[in-house]
Amino acid sequence: MKAETETLKRAVVCGAGGFIGHHLVNRLKSEGFWVLGVDLKYPEFSHSVADSFIVGDLRDPSLYDKLLSSEIDHVYQLAADMGGAGYLFTGDNDADVMHNSALINLNVLQACVQHGVQRVFYSSSACVYPTYNQLDPDNPNCKEATVYPAEPDSEYGWEKLFAERLYESFSRNYGLETRVARFHNIYGPEGTWCGGKEKAPAALCRKIAAAMNGGAIEIWGDGRQTRSFLYVAECVEAVRRLMESDCREPVNVGSDRMISINELAATVMRISGKTLKINRIDGPQGVRGRNSDNTLIEARLGWRPGTDLEAGLRSTYAWILDQVTQQLTNPEMPSC
Ligand code: NAD
Ligand code: GDD
């Protein structure tokens, strides 16, 4: 029994109480890893299957002695102060976003070196790409090599770019094996769906689920802004492939099927079976157009996403409809 435990690969997931971190813990367990999760909070929507879970603050350097040792094979760093356009692109949260996430990344890297961890994954973002390549909603350019000259459109994007450089520096100077993915709008069940940090797929699912047939919903902007959306299971698959690979350069992890926010709303509406009017209002919008360029990741990892958007949105909508229904029938659940 002991010998069997000793051969298990051991992973620490930072941000295991969050959306992608929670799904990653499930995936690592299904592959037979021993997993330690850490987060400010326990997952909100379902039980964590992590072997151990520490509720703690990764900004605190003293936490890391409890988390890391040379027996840890992989550290997955997904903890960040983040949200969707309503949280990141108003300017109201810039200081906290930069300060909190930078402290976490500085601590994680130093602790990995001190504790002899060999390999670290870092979740960067499409928000690192320059504004000047994302002005035309029909022709954004998010090839990895276009990230410089740098001009991210948010402080969140600047912190992610700084962090990418930090991981690269620790790799260069301390021989740490680092793997960096630039996530492009990840969605799916058990993601943040209300409260102000939700992204467009969850926000539109919630608004449509809560609306009466024949009523109306609001979306921010004219709806012609474009994005691509990647289902969370695909994201986790790409993370695992990247972590096992020899690919040291940052790669996009996203879907390359670009659609407008108007099309996203129409698709969710079709899934809901409702006919609703769309009111287009002022709101935080971020870049005008964005799409994942998957040329590099396909060449390096042979990965391309399989789940089609309609299927992913169907399962996301069903989960959010259930949350909305629970909220309506349970007065103890906080309202959005
Ligand atoms: P999430 O907000 O659901 O998860 C992040 C987790 O980090 C949260 O559970 C939060 O409590 C935790 N955290 C924050 N500060 C912490 C601290 N000081 N100590 C411990 N834990 C702390 O977000 P997510 O969607 O799961 O994103 C995971 C990572 O991927 C983040 O780094 C995010 O920036 C990046 N990313 C996500 C997307 C996306 O579309 N979801 C896109 C680009 C990049
Ligand atoms: N969140 C949200 N809620 N967005 C809406 C809404 C709404 O009700 N209505 C329209 N939108 C529009 C936003 O104005 C924006 O133009 C677009 O939908 C996409 O918004 P989000 O999904 O919130 O964010 P994003 O794609 O701009 O950025 C997200 O993805 C990045 C990676 O691609 C964020 O989650 C970032 O954290 C992430 O790094």
Domain termination residue (choose one: 253, 268, 296): 253
Measured distance CA(14)–CA(274) in Å, rounded: 39
The pLDDT mean for the chain works out to 96
Q: How confident is the model at residue 6 (pLDDT cuts 50, 70, 90)?
A: low
Residues 206 and 69 reside in one and the same domain: no
Which structural domain, as residue segments, surrounds residue 272?
Answer: 200-227+258-288+308-328
> Considering only CA atoms, which residue is closest to atom 4 of ligand 2?
200
Decide if 104 is inside a domain: yes
Residues 12 and 145 reside in one and the same domain: yes
CB 251 within 8 A of CB 180: yes
Ligand nearest to the CA of 289: 2
Q: Show the ligand 2 pocket: residues with CB < 6 angstroms.
A: 82, 84-86, 88, 125-127, 183-185, 198-200, 203, 219-221, 225, 227, 261, 283-286
Look up residue 62 and give its DSSP letter: G
Look up residue 212 and give its DSSP letter: P
Residues 216 and 82 reside in one and the same domain: no
Decide if 100 is inside a domain: yes
Tell me how far CA of residue 225 lies from CA of 58, 92, 220, 288, 300, in angstroms: 35, 22, 10, 5, 30
Q: Is 151 exposed, middle or buried (0-12, 13-18, 19+ CB in 10 A)?
A: middle
Model confidence over 13-36: pLDDT tens digits?
A: 999 999 999 999 999 999 999 999
Does the pLDDT at position 3 exceed 90?
A: no
The total number of structural domains in the chain stands at 2
Does the pLDDT at position 335 exceed 80?
A: no
> According to the model, what pLDDT value does residue 192 have?
97
Decide if 71 is inside a domain: yes
Model confidence over 167-213: pLDDT tens digits?
A: 999 999 999 999 999 999 999 999 999 999 999 999 999 999 999 99
Pocket test for ligand 2, best of 98, 133, 199 (most atoms within 8 A of CB): 199
Model confidence over 285-298: pLDDT tens digits?
A: 999 999 999 999 99
Decide if 195 is inside a domain: no
Residues 59 and 138 reside in one and the same domain: yes
The CATH number assigned to the domain holding 166 equals 3.40.50.720
Pocket test for ligand 1, best of 39, 184, 194, 264 (most atoms within 8 A of CB): 39
Ligand nearest to the CA of 24: 1
Residues 236 and 269 reside in one and the same domain: no
Q: How confident is the model at residue 247 (pLDDT cuts 50, 70, 90)?
A: very high
Residues 264 and 324 reside in one and the same domain: yes
Residues 313 and 170 reside in one and the same domain: no
Ligand nearest to the CA of 84: 2
Q: Could you report the predicted ipTM of this complex, rounded to two decimals?
A: 0.99
Decide if 43 is inside a domain: yes
The answer to whether residue 156 is catalytic is yes
Residues 280 and 176 reside in one and the same domain: no
Decide if 336 is inside a domain: no
The CATH number assigned to the domain holding 215 equals 3.90.25.10
Q: How confident is the model at residue 77 (pLDDT cuts 50, 70, 90)?
A: very high
Q: How confident is the model at residue 2 (pLDDT cuts 50, 70, 90)?
A: very low
Gap from CA of 317 to ligand 1 centroid (Å): 21
Does the pLDDT at position 5 exceed 60?
A: no
Residues 234 and 282 reside in one and the same domain: no
Residues 271 and 321 reside in one and the same domain: yes
Gap from CA of 292 to ligand 2 centroid (Å): 15
Q: Show the ligand 1 pocket: residues with CB < 6 angstroms.
A: 15, 17-21, 39-41, 57-59, 78-82, 100, 104, 123, 125, 183, 185-186, 192, 199
Pocket test for ligand 1, best of 36, 183, 227 (most atoms within 8 A of CB): 183
Residues 40 and 157 reside in one and the same domain: yes
Q: Which of 122, 156, 187, 231 is catalytic?
A: 156
Model confidence over 36-67: pLDDT tens digits?
A: 999 999 999 999 999 999 999 999 999 999 99
Tell me how far CA of residue 97 lies from CA of 7, 104, 158, 181, in angstroms: 39, 11, 10, 19
Residues 316 and 246 reside in one and the same domain: no
